[in-house]
Amino acid sequence: MQITVELPKDIAQRPDPAREALEALAIEGYRSGALSSLETQRLLGFETRYELDGFLKAHNVWEHAYNVEDFNRDCETLQSLEVLIDEAEGRREAERHKVRVAGTLAVLEQGAQRGLIDLPAVIERLRQTNFRLSSNLIQKALDRDAHRKNRNP
């Protein structure tokens, strides 16, 4: 869609009056909440959120900026999340940051407990791939699954 605006001659003689008008519209729309971050980004033709953040900072637009409360909420969210990761170094790093970690086998066990998968069949298919997992861990998971099935026939 195209919008036409009649500009006074002194404003129309600026180097890029159309861009200035577009930016002013975007800034006010963002400040007022009429435009979301994504809508503002698209309106200005920016490919990334980083470009939008730089633009807003350059124009002293601090409304809706990432602040301490946002950071604290993000920290709380991260602490409540459980990350799926099998690689040992990545697990240690996540745990160091107090992020709960689960491996593939734990996720498969949860699926079996909920009746979503047949754990022995899925593990057998997993063994046919290049996925590496200790036989001891697999056996323990299969034993827990068998015990659960015997308890709840």
Q: What is the pLDDT of residues 26-45, one digit of tens each?
A: 999 999 889 988 899 999 99
Say how many C-beta atoms besides its own lie within 10 A of residue 69's C-beta. Answer: 8
In a domain, 28, yes or no: yes
Say what the pLDDT of residue 132 is.
Answer: 83
* C-alpha closest to that of 124 among 146, 102, 139: 139
Question: Is residue 4 predicted with pLDDT exceeding 70?
Answer: yes
- Percent of the chain having pLDDT more than 70? 98
Instruction: Please compute, for residue 81, the number of CA atoms within 13 A of its CA located in the half-sphere on the CB side.
Output: 13
In a domain, 66, yes or no: no
pLDDT band at 153 (very low <50, low <70, confident <90, very high): low
In a domain, 50, yes or no: yes
Among 39, 58, 77, give the residue marking a domain's end: 58
Domain count, the chain: 2
The region of weakest confidence among 63-67, 86-90, 120-124 is: 63-67
In a domain, 49, yes or no: yes
In a domain, 74, yes or no: no
Give the domain extent around 143. Answer: 103-151
In a domain, 1, yes or no: no
- Rounded to the nearest 10°, the torsion over CA 48, 82, 65, 1 is 40
Which residues, 6+ apart, have CB-to-CB distance to 5 below 8 Å? 21
For the chain, give the number of residues: 153
Beta carbons of 19 and 55 less than 8 angstroms apart: no
Say how many C-beta atoms besides its own lie within 10 A of residue 103's C-beta. Answer: 15
Segment 49-72 shows an average pLDDT of 84
What is the model's pTM?
0.47
Question: Is residue 88 predicted with pLDDT exceeding 70?
Answer: yes
Question: Is residue 108 predicted with pLDDT exceeding 90?
Answer: yes
In a domain, 65, yes or no: no
Which residues, 6+ apart, have CB-to-CB distance to 86 below 8 Å? 103, 104, 133
Say what the pLDDT of residue 65 is.
Answer: 67
Segment 119-148 shows an average pLDDT of 91
Question: Is residue 58 predicted with pLDDT exceeding 80?
Answer: yes
Say what the pLDDT of residue 79 is.
Answer: 73
> Token pair of 139, please?
């056996």
Q: With 0-12 CB in 10 A as exposed, 13-18 as middle and 19+ as buried, what is 130?
A: exposed
In a domain, 48, yes or no: yes
Backbone angles phi, psi at 61, to 5 degrees: -100, 110
Question: Is residue 152 predicted with pLDDT exceeding 80?
Answer: no
* C-alpha closest to that of 144 among 106, 91, 117: 106
